Structure 1
């Protein structure tokens, strides 16, 4: 079993011989370079164990650090996590305030671990409407992004105050403004131009998107970027319960480009 520290962004677990053998076998085949996560189910977990909602979110963070260690060991170089949706602002004030406070605490921890992140070559990027967050959180995000910007071995993208519709709307508005001012001509407007105006500009699209808790929807997350992404929805598995075996069983990708949607025990696959 892994000994995961709940107080570190960069967990350094001691793996068994069997775990390393599985990792080595998986790395022989096609492994996704970029995996996106919707780590869902923290509130339901808290209700099941009769704990406060924020404790559920805190446990979700601990599991996230564990998942990130699996990704590094497997050679997955980029991860994007749906950390906080713009829609989350519609929750109760107590929960929103608690989530923002928790985010501040985790970014303060991240700043303390900058040296460790730099040693591992981990770059932090944050996408979304950062100005909607607290001033303190904005400053912490800026420091984390700036102090890791030259790291190029791994990239952790955190979607905060994000929805895909807002991202696409903002990109479209920027293009419209360019046309109005004469900096762009109508024939300049292409898919490539829109992609350059997205928050994820310059990044690889996800090869695999995993959602826990059994919800079968993307919840306005990376809609443009996931058009050719393999999708997997973990039925009945909440974020806090996902384990290495379940994760490893989903990261071996088909050799040919395809779109795969797995619902319970049924699989629908269209090859493009």
Structure 2
């Protein structure tokens, strides 16, 4: 009886969530949401789990959050999967993360019904050459299999830091100028030049609208600092990443919609004067 009631409750809750998503999708929807997936290790310790299990549960939270965003009509989702700085962690944890990255990248493509349904192109952004060869191979396979999808984008940042992204973009602009024989005194490097070579821009991502960090920590941790510098809403959830879900994202979307409507109201007021 208890099992039957739980099943009925889950079904009702799922139906209610789907209805809410349809209502939210009818309003202004952010085109690009980014997530700092923080708290996997603390989640595991709190439950006396192996750290690897915390990261595994975090992957399933990513699948759930990605599907919610796609159902809403979000064009691009970018997640901080692995920092260059994470290589400084214990060898055991780094190896476990690399193993997880390899298996889940292949899982996404072998059982990629969700990616196909929503036309998701998968991009891995960062210093891919720093990854073990087997993980690099999985990256190449995943990107190749989704390269023709053109409705939505999933950016996995790994191994990545924002400072490295900015430095790489500047270096690319300088190399472009040198190759073209341009004099920087006559043609100074602009923000637009650097923007063209940011990894998110090269991946075809729209401008960032919202950045969400889980686990209650309130810092960017060297993630999308260039992209988050202007007109980006920052939200910090107290939930550990494996626990995050629709009810954590709901107030974020409502806040975004309220601000869009408020801005539209101000614009209409000014234009009517």
TM-score range, shorter chain: 0.7 to 0.9
CA shift, 1:244, in A, is: 1.4
CA distance in structure 2 between the aligned counterparts of 1:2 and 1:83, rounded to whole angstroms: 33
CA distance in structure 1 between the aligned counterparts of 2:6 and 2:55, rounded to whole angstroms: 20
CA distance in structure 1 between the aligned counterparts of 2:173 and 2:62, rounded to whole angstroms: 36
Misfit runs of 4+, over 4 Å: none
CA distance in structure 1 between the aligned counterparts of 2:114 and 2:19, rounded to whole angstroms: 26
Larger proportion of strand: 1
CA shift, 1:15, in A, is: 6.5
Contact 2:70 2:118 in 1 (8 A): no
Residues 46-101 of structure 1: CA distance to partner in whole angstroms, max 9, x if unpaired? 10001111110001011111111111111112100100000100101111111111
Corresponding residue of 1:207: 209
- Which residue among 239, 243, 246 is the counterpart of 1:244? 246
> Would you say 1:233 and 2:236 are equivalent positions?
yes
CA shift, 1:40, in A, is: 0.6
Q: 3-state SS of the aligned residue for 2:227?
A: coil
CA shift, 1:166, in A, is: 0.4
Structure 2 unaligned residues grouped into runs of 5+: 264-273
Corresponding residue of 1:261: none
CA distance in structure 2 between the aligned counterparts of 1:24 and 1:158, rounded to whole angstroms: 26
CA shift, 1:113, in A, is: 2.3
So what's the TM-score if we normalise by structure 1?
Answer: 0.84
Matched residue count: 248
Contact 2:34 2:79 in 1 (8 A): yes
- Which residue among 14, 30, 37 is the counterpart of 2:28? 30
CA distance in structure 1 between the aligned counterparts of 2:248 and 2:178, rounded to whole angstroms: 51
CA distance in structure 2 between the aligned counterparts of 1:119 and 1:164, rounded to whole angstroms: 31
So what's the TM-score if we normalise by structure 2?
Answer: 0.84
Larger proportion of helix: 2
Corresponding residue of 2:175: 177
Pick 1 or 2: higher relative contact order, CA cutoff 8 A, min separation 6.
2
Corresponding residue of 2:195: 195
Give me the CA root mean square deviation.
2.3
Moved more, 109-118 or 137-146: 109-118
Q: 3-state SS of the aligned residue for 2:49?
A: coil
CA shift, 1:150, in A, is: 1.4
User: Is the alpha carbon distance of 1:237 and 1:167 closer, same or farther for their aligned partners in structure 2, counting shifts above 3 Å?
Assistant: same
Contact 2:122 2:146 in 1 (8 A): yes
Structure 1 unaligned residues grouped into runs of 5+: 4-12, 259-272
